[in-house]
Amino acid sequence: MRRKKRPPVLIGITIIMVLCFSFLFISMDFNPPEQSAKETVDKFYSHEQEGNFAESWNLFHPLMKEKWNKSTYLQDRVHVFIGHFGAETFKYHIKEIGKLKDWRITKETPSEKEAYKFQVTQTYKGKYGKFSFEQEVYVINNKGKWQIAWDYNE
């Protein structure tokens, strides 16, 4: 008995479809949004912890970048935390607070449909002993990218 040969075009289309679906499957982000937001906060503070302030600045939301140009941000972070406090690095803890709707960076900025709020505690050991800073950190999905923002509301 002779087997029917499949036409080469059908085999080619099948291979292309399998490759496309494989690529889509691999490239999909399976994390829930709050997990992706928390990973962004973790990445930001990991960069800060290493003194890599340029990379942490890159994770800011565009409105934050308007408040802090890159060179000023780099100088301020080094000046305050290393210069004034004498702390080379720090440990940090991230506490998830929750999801917010219609949150704004300032009263004048547009509201964000979805933001996640975290409480970050940074613990330093410096020339004045051990001390901690707590800061509310917000993460906004801006054009498919999770970005860091701080609250400048009164």
Q: Return the number of other C-beta atoms located less than 10 Å from residue 81's C-beta.
A: 21
Is residue 145 helix, strand or coil?
Answer: strand
What pLDDT score does 9 carry? 67
CATH class of 34-149: alpha beta
With cut-offs at 50, 70 and 90, classify the pLDDT of residue 86: confident
Q: Which residue has the tokens 């080619």?
A: 12
**Percentage of the chain exceeding pLDDT 70:** 82
- Domain parsing of the chain, residue ranges: 34-149
pLDDT above 90: residue 52: yes
Neighbouring CB atoms inside 10 A of 45's CB total: 23
pLDDT for the residue numbered 84: 83
- In this structure, the strands spanning 115-126 and 145-149 are unpaired
Query: Is pLDDT at 8 greater than 70 in this prediction?
Result: no
